[in-house]
Amino acid sequence: MTGAATSPASPLARKLAERIARDGPISVADYIEACLQDADDGYYRHKAAIGAGGDFVTAPEISQVFGELIGLWCAVAWQQMGGPPAVRLIELGPGRGTLMADALRAAQRVPAFRAALRVELVESNATLEAAQRLALHDAGVPVVWMRELAPGDGPAIIIANEFLDVLAAEQLVFREGTWRTRCVGLGADGRFAFTDGPVLADAALPDGLPAATEGDIFETRRRAFSDLAGRLSAAGQPLSGLFIDYGHQTSGFGDTLQAVAAHRYADPLLGPGAADLTVQVDFAAFGDAVRACGLASDGPVPQGEFLGRLGGVERASRLMADNPSKAATIEAGIARLMGPTGMGSHFQVIGIRSVDLAPLPALAAVDSEHSAS
Ligand code: SAH
């Protein structure tokens, strides 16, 4: 097929190439948004995505301990709200429904919390919604699905694992003393290629960054984060939430755009819609967006630290003792989630809450813990 280099193969690639040929290069954020959410061919519209037979594996699929500890965390967050008789438990991007199923099973240990629950799942992907319905068919609590976060009344607890990273990120590139929007255009060979877009009159970078040098890239989800934080703060009081993702605690420069398909890294510009496309989550920026909407934030802390404080090792040991034939798998799973050179440090956890609630469990800053001694 000699035409392969010049005529992009998939319908989404053709659609994007036509759009760029007609209107000019599109921003990286618009490119990611199209790849992930295009109504017909976006990655997150239909792909099964998660699990051994999909493209990537997530924490709840690695160990049941993850969802169980989060379920108990939610029960404590509910108690900190004064134990209201009705509470919305909202999960953003619930994947295969595994986290929620494990959380609800663990919550059986706090019957008044379970009795108060109404579960709301926010999911854009019809294939994953079907998996969630299967995983939760005998959940024993009311469960409803929605395509996007809807405003609602009353106390709410939000959980979101690997959801922030599906929100499209803008890349800015520093050239000759000014910031420009990084774009995707068409190269001379007809393939997609990165290109510098328009100069930004006001790049509005956060304080505390080092001086930029030629070619530095800054990644920002400013628009997506403030939209989400606005929805969350409008969703009714009191509110507590837990966001977990691959990312960094402080803002900095660097190109972290990556595509993953079938458990391997892929070229982000090849096969749009066929791979998961992400940039790392900037937790400092998410915290800023949340606080700008009148909420408080706790953390971020590394995932290993968070799970450790919730008793992850102890819970895994109990499971191993109860299931000796699966002990090695259980041990490997918890080590993968908590290990300081892997997910334990590469993933961060941040809590958000109404300002009048007490700080959330297991999310106090690491420094303050040391300063107490
Ligand atoms: N939390 C799950 C899945 C993470 S993958 C886990 O830990 O296994 C991201 C999830 O967000 C998927 O369920 C995906 O379909 C969903 N998603 C992606 N874009 C979305 C959007 N715009 N609105 C709602 N859900 C979305």
pLDDT tens-place string over residues 306-320? 999 999 999 999 999
How many Å lie between the centroid of ligand 1 and the Cα of residue 93? 3
pLDDT given at position 54: 86
pLDDT at residue 350 is higher than 50: yes
pLDDT of residue 6: 40
The model carries a pTM of 0.94
The predicted-structure confidence for 120-173, as pLDDT tens digits, reads as follows 999 999 999 999 999 999 999 999 999 999 877 899 999 999 999 999 999 999
> If you average pLDDT over residues 242-270, what whole number do you get?
96
Give the CA-trace dihedral at 135, 137, 141, 147, to 10 degrees.
70
pLDDT value of residue 369? 45
Q: Whose CA is nearest to atom 24 of ligand 1?
A: 123
91 Cα nearest atom in ligand 1: 1
Substitution candidate for ligand 1 out of 166, 221, 244 with most atoms within 8 A of CB: 166
Ligand 1 atom at shortest distance from the alpha carbon of 161:
1
Q: Which atom of ligand 1 is nearest to the CA of 122?
A: 24
Residue owning the nearest CA to atom 17 of ligand 1? 93
pLDDT score at 372: 39
- Mean confidence (pLDDT) of the chain: 93
Considering only 150-154, 270-274, 292-296, 303-307, which range has the smallest mean pLDDT? Answer: 150-154
Of all protein residues, whose CA lies closest to atom 11 belonging to ligand 1? 93
As a whole number, mean pLDDT of residues 170-186 equals: 97
Shortest-distance Cα residue to atom 18 of ligand 1: 44
Which residue, chain included where needed, has tokens 């971020």?
Answer: 300
User: pLDDT digit string (tens) for 273-283?
Assistant: 999 999 999 99
- Please name the residue whose Cα sits nearest to atom 10 of ligand 1: 93
Atom of ligand 1 nearest to the CA of 50: 8
pLDDT confidence tier of residue 236, bands split at 50, 70 and 90: low
Q: Ligand 1 test: best mutation among 90, 125, 221, 349, most atoms within 8 Å of CB?
A: 125
Residue with tokens 């420094």: 367
Q: What is the pLDDT of residue 48?
A: 85
Question: Whole-angstrom Cα distance, residue 328 to residue 324?
Answer: 8
- As separate numbers, helices (DSSP H) first and strands (DSSP E) second, the chain gives 15, 16
pLDDT digits (tens, 9 = 90+) for 59-114: 999 999 999 999 999 999 999 999 999 999 999 999 999 999 999 999 999 999 99
pLDDT, average across residues 337-354 = 97
Mean pLDDT of 186-200: 95
Residues with CB under 6 A from ligand 1: 37, 44, 50, 58-61, 93-95, 99, 122-125, 128, 148, 161-163, 166
